[in-house]
Amino acid sequence: MDNYHNGSDAGFAQAQTRPRPQVLAFYTICNSCLVRELQLLLFVSESEIRSDQIGRLHLSVFEMEMDSSTMLFNQLKSSQPFFLLAGPNVIESEEHILRMASHIKAITSKLGLQLVFKSSFDKANRTSSKSFRGPGLVEGLKILEKVKVAYDLPIVTDVHETIQCEAVGRVADIIQIPAFLCRQTDLLVAAAKTGKIVNIKKGQFCAPSVMVNSAEKIRLAGNENVMVCERGTMFGYNDLIVDPRNFEWMREANCPIVADITHSLQQPAGKKLEGGGVASGGLRELIPCIARTAVAVGVDGIFMEVHDDPLNAPVDGPTQWPLRHLEELLQELIAIANVSKGKQSFKIDLTPFRD
């Protein structure tokens, strides 16, 4: 990020000599730098800036973000046979993320699928405090932005606190709400106010009807670009099940439905560690089963975590799909989706049958 973007005095002096169109082109503004950015736009002193100018500028930025998000949202909604949110669970290194993005984009481009690249900058809800969490907010967003620019890919990543939403919204195209936090009103509202698409994962403890309320919280905050994601339901201890009926019932939220085909096969805290403690296990071999079911039922999008070396992945290795098999699985899912009528309601005629 150069001096102009970080709002330093050097950047301000530099901006005074720049052509006005270049200055106006920069519209991604954080609240903490709003006054300085308004100075750059108007070439006035701080004392000359009125609160109504700040308010109008902040609103125009939000509207521009909403316009670009709505375009992507409409593209995803119309994607056939489905769109794909995919990538490694967590950012391990810049080199690894860029390599994974390159491979996954090559595969999805070949198959004609709309891809949104996924990875997390911080795994804040790990079973163990010893688990790898990622590079953190600042470094993680820098890496995701490099992916976005290098491969011209939209980005989805998750947030855990309201304070993260604004910074994440400056990079990510889709902000994901973790399943554990799907009812947290303040977090949902903060994500919605970025103007970005919000993907809400259904809590493992929630009925599908809960997602109607969660999606409505996004809309009431002024953002219509919301989708909901099924990621399994707790089935006793250390296990999840996927109820295919949820894919249909969640349509009551009146938004795109995504199936998380990898986290759905977690076995939370089901793996004992050497030296004591537990971590999440998983049933990777059943990922195709859940995926086939989801596309046959007619979901709008597939979420899956993919890794080039799952056995050595630092987080959620047991439920990350091997990169070497990604194209093969996606080809099968596309074939199933293309012959299924899952996205169409079955019209049931209950009038008496007559010979």
Residues noted as catalytic = 89, 123, 316
Residues 174, 118: Cα–Cα separation, whole Å: 9
Q: Bridge-partner residues for 54, per DSSP?
A: none
Residues 36, 75: Cα–Cα separation, whole Å: 35
Q: Note whether 302 and 259 are within 8 A (CB).
A: yes
Place of tokens 């409505």: 216
Q: Note whether 92 and 81 are within 8 A (CB).
A: no
Q: Within 10 A of 75 (CB to CB), how many other CB atoms are there?
A: 12
Place of tokens 């990604």: 326
Query: What string of DSSP letters covers 31-83?
Result: GGGHHHHHHHHHT--GGG--HHHHHHHHHHHHHHHHHHHHHHHHHHHT-SS-E
Residues 304, 264: Cα–Cα separation, whole Å: 10
Q: What are phi and psi of 237, to 5 degrees?
A: -90, 145
Place of tokens 């375009």: 71
59 Cβ partners below 8 Å, 6+ apart? none
Q: Note whether 169 and 177 are within 8 A (CB).
A: no
349 Cβ partners below 8 Å, 6+ apart? none
Q: Note whether 317 and 311 are within 8 A (CB).
A: yes
